[in-house]
Structure 1
Amino acid sequence: MIEEMNHAQPTVSVLLPAYDAVDTLEEAITSILNQTHEALELIAVDDGSTDGTGALLDHLSGLDGRIKPFHIDHAGLIEALNTGIDACSTSYIARFDADDRAHPERLEKQVDFLDANRDITAVASQIRCFPDDQVAEGFRVYESWINSLITPDEIAREIYIESPLVHPTVTIRRESLVDIGGYQDHGWPEDYDLWLRLHTAGHRFAKIPEVLHEWREGDSRLTRTDSRYSVENFIRAKVNYMMEGPLKGRELIIWGAGQMGRRISKHLVRSDARIVAFVDIDEKKVGNTRRGSPIISLDDLPDVFASAQDPCVLASVPSRGARSLIRENLNYLGWVEGREYICVA
């Protein structure tokens, strides 16, 4: 139930793009209007919906003046987001989706965190996927991984594995978002692109270690229907920003001559990366070549590393168990993650 009330000047802008979301929109908006942090504005951008979403937004805005609807011709998520950024009047922008649910204290906790931690550009939260009967076991694994990354160092360590922040859980400093160029379309996921651009520029992220967001799972999710969210396009994004950042000018040794190593190396070669060797524990692969570079054993790695120019090992295996073993081996050599080696998947 949405009721008209008098509210203080907003200190956070909730940015909610919506396209044909009439079935879930009111529940999502109600979860925002019921926040303990009441000093908010809800910038709701209707991206040319045809199902009554726009009319519902107009109706709800008449019941609560914090809702500010904007209507645009259908142009896609990125255009809707950038339209919304222009309309946000506060220092903090909290992303939210039209089919999710927010915990009542989400905004209060995130605004307080950003107020107290000026070195953090964006703060997210842990999540719970729902409804249970729509959440596959593999997605529960992803949920567990996302929820395990809390500190800036943990998030930075894993940023080339997968997107470490769930977009609609994030509250970000508006100035930083505008300065970095807002949302951009490079043919890969717009949110992951933003995190990678910010990370490459030296920004830091954190999470509130609480479940403050319920993330709706289903076949209509954009990540399932838009080709930008394919595995191949995620890899393109990772390689692009690694080559702009930590891999720039370095010679590379790729640990993993299997499928993931092949996929990563394909895009690295296209980006003119210098791959001096692959490492693999499979004796059948050792002694062969991959993309013109030798496949070596773990025993040979220290010598090859020592002879390379400003080397970096890319641990490119999809399995978390295998990744943990690789980390143990490389740490045993005295190497530091983020300096001598980086994990990517």
Structure 2
Amino acid sequence: MPDHRYSVLLPVYGKDSPAYLRIAIDSMLAQTLPPDEILIAVDGPIGSNLMTVINQYRVAQPDLFSLYQAPNQGGLGALLRKAVPLCRNTYIARMDADDYSSPERLSKQFAILDQRDDVDIVGCNVDEFMDDVTEPVSHVVLPELPADALRFAKRRCPMRHPALLYRKDDVLAAGNYRPLYTFEDYDLIVRMLHRGLRLYNVQEPLVSMRVSPDFYARRGGPRFVACMVRTKWRFLVMGFSSLPDFLVSCLGQTFVGLMPGSFRAWFYKTFLRKEIIG
């Protein structure tokens, strides 16, 4: 039988909500294909309330829960770079501390790996919600087939990070995560695709991502734009994307990134999401 043992890699930060963290962890515990390990990676010091939640789970199920705590806060890329090698299983399922995975997420993602020889990484569509996971405010629809995902990746990120299922050795062979501002996931997935790995997105919202009212508005600003341009320049230099890909995607994302926050939120919801009305 195929090896379906997997580690959940879940980063936690000091500003995370203890209540939201419980929802995220419980959603992984409720999987129809349960995890073999949940590795909680803590980015520097966190408050006692968060650590209390983490310790409650560790005490209740010490064989399931593992902990890595970075001595200082270094950001998501640096944190995951240290945590990935610590996962004890071949497969790693990413998850964030304020999101929710449907009970059949991992069983459906592993089913794709079992059924298709042309897939190495599995993501999925996602719903976005604000307060209640049962009341999504928008849908994110991503390219399904590997060829479409590869084409899409040359200009835009073809997956959502908390929804990924991948092999630990594939991540390490691609150079692991790098400490980039907001683009550590896109950077990694492009390096994996450039090595010939293939991405498939299940066309169901198996993950729900929590968004704050200013979520879209914050996806911009000079620092965001500068890191985006540097990241896409690396894609061009490594031969993954073409000059037209670089120019078109950078110009478009710079335009959106430097919009006033309220306009940026409107643009995301109007053109980059399927917003739910009513």
TM-score tier, shorter chain, comes to 0.7 to 0.9
Name 2:239's counterpart in structure 1. 245
Q: Percent identity?
A: 27
SS in 1 for 2:22: helix
Among residues 25, 41, 61, which one is paired with 2:37 in the alignment?
41
Aligned to 2:100: 101
CA distance in 1, matches of 2:37, 2:216: 25
CA distance in structure 1 between the aligned counterparts of 2:244 and 2:85, rounded to whole angstroms: 44
Superposed, which structure 2 residues align to 1:68-217 within 5 Å?
68-75=66-73, 76-131=75-130, 140=138, 143-144=139-140, 147-187=141-181, 189-217=183-211
Q: What's the CA shift string for 1:270-294, capped at 9, x where partnerless?
A: xxxxxxxxxxxxxxxxxxxxxxxxx
* Match of residue 28 from structure 1: 24
How many residues align structurally?
A: 249
State the 1:174 CA deviation: 1.1
Aligned in 2, Cα 1:256/1:26: closer, same or farther, shift over 3 Å? closer
Give the C-alpha shift of residue 52 in structure 1.
2.4
The structure-2 alpha-carbon separation of the partners of 1:207 and 1:228, relative to structure 1 and needing over 3 Å to count, comes to farther
Q: Match of 2:173, as an amino acid? A: D
Please tell me the root mean square deviation across aligned C-alpha atoms, in Å. 3.7
Contact 2:232-2:246 at 8 Å conserved across structures: no
Q: State the distance in 2 between where 1:148 and 1:240 align.
A: 23
Q: Does 1:60 align with 2:57?
A: yes
Residues 186 and 202 of structure 1, relative CA distance in 2, 3 Å threshold: same
1:242-281 matches, cutoff 5 A: 242-246=236-240, 260=251
Residues in 2 aligned to 1:255 and 1:89: alpha-carbon distance in whole angstroms: 38
- Between the two structures, name the one with larger relative contact order (CA 8 Å, sep ≥ 6): 2
Shift of 1:55: 2.4
The alpha carbon displacement at 1:263 in A equals 6.2
Shift of 1:185: 2.2
Partner of 2:263: none
Question: Does structure 1 conserve the Cα–Cα contact (< 8 Å) formed by 2:32 and 2:104?
Answer: yes
Structure 2: how far apart are the matches of 1:43 and 1:223?
31
Query: CA separation of 1:31/1:246 partners in 2, compared to 1, >3 Å: closer, same or farther?
Result: closer
Moved more, 33-42 or 183-192: 183-192
Secondary structure (helix, strand or coil) at the match of 2:19 reads coil
* In structure 2, distance between residues paired with 1:212 and 1:173: 19
Tell me if the contact between 1:188 and 1:229 (Cα under 8 Å) persists in the aligned partners: no
Q: How does 1:319-338 map to 2 (within 5 A)?
A: none
* Preserved contact between residue 13 and residue 92 of structure 1 (Cα < 8 Å): yes
Runs of 5+ consecutive residues of structure 1 not aligned to the other structure: 1-8, 134-138, 265-317, 320-345
Q: Answer whether contact 2:7 2:91 (CA < 8 A) is retained.
A: yes
Q: Structure 1 229/60 Cα, relative in aligned 2: closer, same or farther at 3 Å? A: farther
Q: Report how far residue 83 of structure 1 moved.
A: 2.7
**Contact 2:42/2:70 (<8 A) preserved:** yes
| Shift of residue 19, structure 1, vs aligned partner | 0.7
Tell me the amino acid that sits aligned with residue 74 of structure 1: N
Between the aligned partners of 1:12 and 1:132, the Cα distance in structure 2 is: 29
How far apart in 1 are the matches of 2:219 and 2:39?
Answer: 25
Q: Tell me the CA shift for residue 10 of structure 1.
A: 7.4
Which has the higher Rg, Structure 1 or Structure 2?
1
Distance 1:117 1:226, change over 3 A: same
Cα contact 2:142–2:158 (8 A) shared by 1 = no
CA separation of 1:247/1:30 partners in 2, compared to 1, >3 Å: closer, same or farther?
A: closer
With the length of structure 2 as denominator, give the TM-score of the two structures: 0.76
Shift in CA distance, 43/255, structure 1 to aligned 2, threshold 3 Å: closer
- Tell which deviates more after alignment, 167-176 or 107-116: 107-116
TM superposition shift of 1:58: 1.1
Measured at CA, do residues 73 and 10 of structure 1 come closer, stay the same or move farther in structure 2, by a change above 3 Å? farther
TM-score normalized by structure 1?
A: 0.62
> Do the aligned partners of residues 89 and 254 (structure 1) sit closer, same or farther apart at CA in structure 2, a change above 3 Å counting?
closer
TM-aligned CA deviation for residue 171 of structure 1? 0.4
When residues 71 and 246 of structure 1 are mapped into structure 2, their CA distance, relative to the original with a 3 A threshold, is closer
After superposition, give the CA deviation of every residue in 1:251-276 in whole Å (9 maximum; x if it has no partner): x568989x927969xxxxxxxxxxxx
